[in-house]
């Protein structure tokens, strides 16, 4: 009899795990995937081309729904695991309770929104999901990208390709300091300034649509800010 395997999370890692289990032990588990997003898993690496308008969202999907049913995988989209009972071996969502023999957490990361004034307003978005991409593109007007790491640079460049008026704010002296040295970071900044206004090193103390300047939340480095 197949063991009940419940995987909390429906991202790239979860689907890769399912692929490997199906390849190595196809009859061992009865697999259930729980994901809080409304669609099957997709490749988050491709969100930047979607944001840039270079690729439709459908092309980021790892497998369509028929793949899950073909291999006997139960896919629960739009559901969030709310409780795990280790004694009873159950997972509870808002609509059901599932029993399990093996349980895997593959929830991935959660984007960090700096706790600055105004960060909870509707025009402040993370950049991690297809829903985030839709929300960003639906927000009119000039765009400020906070963070000059890899994702921030990709997001700024993607929005610039969409014709947006983009300012990129980074607290370090040069962009992508985790991957690049000062010289390479400076070259990247110079290439970006053809389409993006880059402020570095700069921190943010407040986010507001009501301020008159284009980058109202920009402030000199330390003492405080993100």
Tens of pLDDT, residue by residue over 32-86, are 999 999 999 999 999 999 999 999 999 999 999 999 999 999 999 999 999 999 9
106 CB neighbour count, 10 Å cutoff: 19
H helix runs in the chain, sequence order: 12-24, 47-51, 65-70, 130-138, 150-161, 182-192
Question: What domains, with CATH codes, occur in the chain?
Answer: 3-105 (3.50.50.60), 130-201 (3.50.50.60)
Let me know: does 161 contact 168? Beta carbons within 8 Å: no
Question: What does the angle CA 208 – CA 144 – CA 53 come to, to the nearest 5 degrees?
Answer: 130
What angle do the packed helices 182-192 and 150-161 form, to 10 degrees? 20
Distance CA 4, CA 2 (A): 6
Structure confidence by residue, pLDDT tens digits, 97-120 = 999 999 999 998 888 888 888 888
């Amino acid at each position: 009899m197949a063991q009940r395997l419940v995987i909390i999370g429906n991202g790239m890692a979860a689907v890769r795990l399912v692929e490997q289990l199906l390849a190595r032990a196809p009859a061992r588990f009865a697999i259930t995937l729980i994901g809080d997003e409304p669609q099957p898993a997709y490749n988050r690496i491709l969100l930047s081309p979607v944001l840039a308008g270079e690729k439709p969202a459908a092309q980021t999907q790892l497998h369509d729904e028929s793949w899950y049913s073909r291999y006997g995988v139960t896919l629960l989209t739009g559901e969030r695991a709310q409780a795990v009972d280790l004694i009873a071996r159950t997972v509870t969502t808002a609509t059901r309770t599932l029993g399990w023999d093996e349980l895997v957490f593959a929830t991935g990361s959660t984007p960090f929104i700096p706790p600055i004034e105004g960060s909870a307003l509707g025009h402040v978005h993370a950049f991690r999901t297809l829903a985030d991409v839709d929300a960003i593109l639906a927000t009119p007007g000039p765009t400020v990208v906070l963070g000059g790491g890899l994702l921030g640079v990709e997001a700024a460049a993607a929005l610039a390709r969409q014709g947006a008026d983009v300012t990129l704010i980074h607290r370090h002296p040069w962009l992508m300091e985790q991957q690049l040295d000062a010289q390479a970071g400076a070259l990247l900044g110079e290439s970006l300034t053809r389409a993006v206004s880059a402020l570095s090193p700069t921190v943010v103390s407040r986010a507001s649509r009501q301020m008159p300047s284009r980058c109202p939340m920009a402030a000199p480095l330390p003492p405080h800010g993100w």
